[in-house]
Structure 1
């Protein structure tokens, strides 16, 4: 492509560039209103759109970058102002804004439906203070909402962190890696054992046991070890959504 603009010279099977070629290339880019340097890491589409000669999507970060899904229980505050979330809703904040939220407890939830419908899980709300404690509730993330960004955010906070994940090997393994874990939210053991039946329960366990078994076997956290012992003995798991109607009691 550069040869058609008189930039570069052919040497056998290669194209070579002299200092004058770089000057020509810079002038060509400037003429077509394209950047002569790479955009900064994290540049927005608005930053890229300032150059009329290229797409706003080129070299810019996806719009979902630096987007944390959060909601609140109790009297969490931002700059002294109360933060409230209506049932079934959540807010999307940048990490910088979320970092300024005043809270006493974090709660990390694995699945988006459960995160949005948290009020439908009264045993979870009761286990972390029943709305009397300042709780910032965090959605762990997925392919569209970076798990890594949320993990970095949690690591930079200092509050104790409750975790509510699927009751399967992957869920337990991920819970064990959350910093400052204060609560492993699992339903009453007797109720849970009755639900560890059927093809779906078996498939949930089988889907991730190969990846997580050695890690869980060596985990020193007694709460993880106790849950893992039950799960392994039954060779079955339960999705978060299946725990909605559990009794208001905390097992671990």
Structure 2
């Protein structure tokens, strides 16, 4: 069992479900072949007859605690632990359906002092009571939000960390569930990746961007801007609406300005509506 992940379980599931006679002997199947000592290698392929598939199914079920033909069990790690030996294969990750928030939280959640944040299950947030959301790309900028020279009209906003993996999915679910009256403002890095993040988010009504000056532009990183060519290509094809002029300005300067530099230099932030 050691070293096998959900990708290994999924590979066995596909073999059994589709009754494959052979699979490509890639790294995943090399590890499975070494682990179960089943299948006949021949060149780039690992061959299985019906007997070998049945034996693999039985051995995997004995070891994993669930029938691999049925696939990885649904549920959280706690729920999967009741059926499987390795609870880490659970499809629902610990951060799924959670968001990291601060600022003005809707009742009955408690008010938070500056510098404090709360990891909250989505079901505990009354989305109908949220008037404004500021979604922040980077965790340290989320932590330092109170120190940014933000527009005063953003006072009273729910501040949300965009996050990665489960937290990012939770943030997206939160935005999708907000009422039409809620205004969503996205605060990213000033670069193609940041703008692409904002453009792809549901309900993003405005960008929070820095007032550019020579000192701030001098901190910009041209190499980082150039490396974001995939995001730049996406933006060329995207309907940016009111952000189109900002994209043209960003291309003209061709530098990536990080949120941390905006804070360090005291850059004033401004809202740019999408429509």
With the length of structure 1 as denominator, give the TM-score of the two structures: 0.71
Superposition deviation, residue 202 in structure 1: 1.1
Distance 1:227-1:127 versus aligned 2 partners, 3 A rule: farther
- Secondary structure of 1:250's counterpart equals strand
Question: Are 2:169 and 1:138 equivalent residues in the alignment?
Answer: no
- Secondary structure of 2:174's counterpart equals helix
Aligned partners of 2:88, 2:236: CA distance in 1, in Å?
A: 46
- RMSD of equivalent CA atoms: 3.6
State the partner residue of 2:80: 48
Question: Are 2:148 and 1:107 equivalent residues in the alignment?
Answer: no
Question: Are 2:145 and 1:118 equivalent residues in the alignment?
Answer: yes
Contact 1:184 1:223 (8 Å CA) reproduced? no
Distance 1:204-1:223 versus aligned 2 partners, 3 A rule: farther
Structure 2 unpaired stretches of 5+: 1-35, 39-47
Contact 1:87 1:116 (8 Å CA) reproduced? no
Question: Are 2:95 and 1:64 equivalent residues in the alignment?
Answer: yes
* Structure 1 counterpart of 2:266, from 237, 240, 246: 246
Aligned partners of 2:159, 2:227: CA distance in 1, in Å?
A: 27
State the partner residue of 2:197: 174
Superposition deviation, residue 125 in structure 1: 5.5
Distance 1:164-1:127 versus aligned 2 partners, 3 A rule: farther
Aligned partners of 1:100, 1:93: CA distance in 2, in Å?
A: 12
Distance 1:101-1:89 versus aligned 2 partners, 3 A rule: farther
Cα deviation, 1:44-98, whole Å, max 9, x if unaligned, reads 33223335x824435463323332211223xx323xx254223223211222223
Aligned partners of 2:81, 2:186: CA distance in 1, in Å?
A: 41
Aligned partners of 1:111, 1:58: CA distance in 2, in Å?
A: 28
Contact 1:119 1:125 (8 Å CA) reproduced? no
Superposition deviation, residue 35 in structure 1: 5.2
- Secondary structure of 1:166's counterpart equals coil
Count of residue pairs brought into register by the alignment:
222
Distance 1:204-1:99 versus aligned 2 partners, 3 A rule: farther
Aligned partners of 2:114, 2:176: CA distance in 1, in Å?
A: 27
Cα deviation, 1:116-151, whole Å, max 9, x if unaligned, reads 111011x225252x3xx3x221111125x4423322
Identify the structure with the greater helix proportion: 2
With the length of structure 2 as denominator, give the TM-score of the two structures: 0.66
Aligned partners of 2:163, 2:138: CA distance in 1, in Å?
A: 8
* Structure 1 counterpart of 2:115, from 77, 88, 109: 88
Distance 1:188-1:127 versus aligned 2 partners, 3 A rule: farther
